[in-house]
Amino acid sequence: MPTYRYEGLVAWQEAFRLSVDLGQLCKRFPSHERFDLVIQLRRAARTIPANIAEGANSQTISTNIRHLGIALGSVGEVDNHLKTAHAEGYLTSEACEHWRDRVWKVRGLVLGLQRSLYRARDRETKGSKDEKAAG
């Protein structure tokens, strides 16, 4: 089985693990939350690695950066849903902090990836301007 480019990204690896693990956590939530908090938390968690993968497979750096921005929005959603789960008594304070720490770790990795792409885009743009000036 081939390894795809995005699978080598630590940000994707951590986001994917978080998504799968949160899916397992959601199984422990009350059944009446199945169509509300559970579905929202799982969807938001799954969109983080999905957008990292989609961005990594895009044809431009700017598109990749945009998808990472969407992933960061989903990070905020997951964090909010975890706070809601704690407020409603589905997670202890300690469990909530554990999960939020993992979410913020993913956030840091996505931000780092995004920053590196901004730098690459800036270098690419500067190189294009230098070529035009020389030509």
pTM of the model: 0.89
The domain total for the chain is 1
CATH number of the domain bearing residue 83: 1.20.1440.60
The answer to whether residue 78 sits within a structural domain is yes
The answer to whether residue 52 sits within a structural domain is yes
The answer to whether residue 3 sits within a structural domain is no
- What is the residue whose two structure tokens read 């959603």? 77
CB atoms within 10 A of CB 126: 10
The answer to whether residue 71 sits within a structural domain is yes
Structure token pair of residue 50: 């999905």
- What is the residue whose two structure tokens read 């996505």? 110
The answer to whether residue 110 sits within a structural domain is yes
The answer to whether residue 1 sits within a structural domain is no
Alpha-carbon span 129 to 135, nearest angstrom: 10
Closest CA to 103 of 29, 63, 49, 66: 49
pLDDT given for residue 131 in this prediction = 65
The answer to whether residue 96 sits within a structural domain is yes
- Domain boundaries, position 41: 8-134
- What is the residue whose two structure tokens read 């940000």? 11
The answer to whether residue 46 sits within a structural domain is yes
Alpha-carbon span 116 to 94, nearest angstrom: 33
pLDDT in tens, the chain (135 residues): 455 789 999 999 999 999 999 999 999 999 999 999 999 999 999 999 999 999 999 989 999 999 999 999 999 999 999 999 999 999 999 999 999 999 999 999 999 999 999 999 998 877 666 666 666
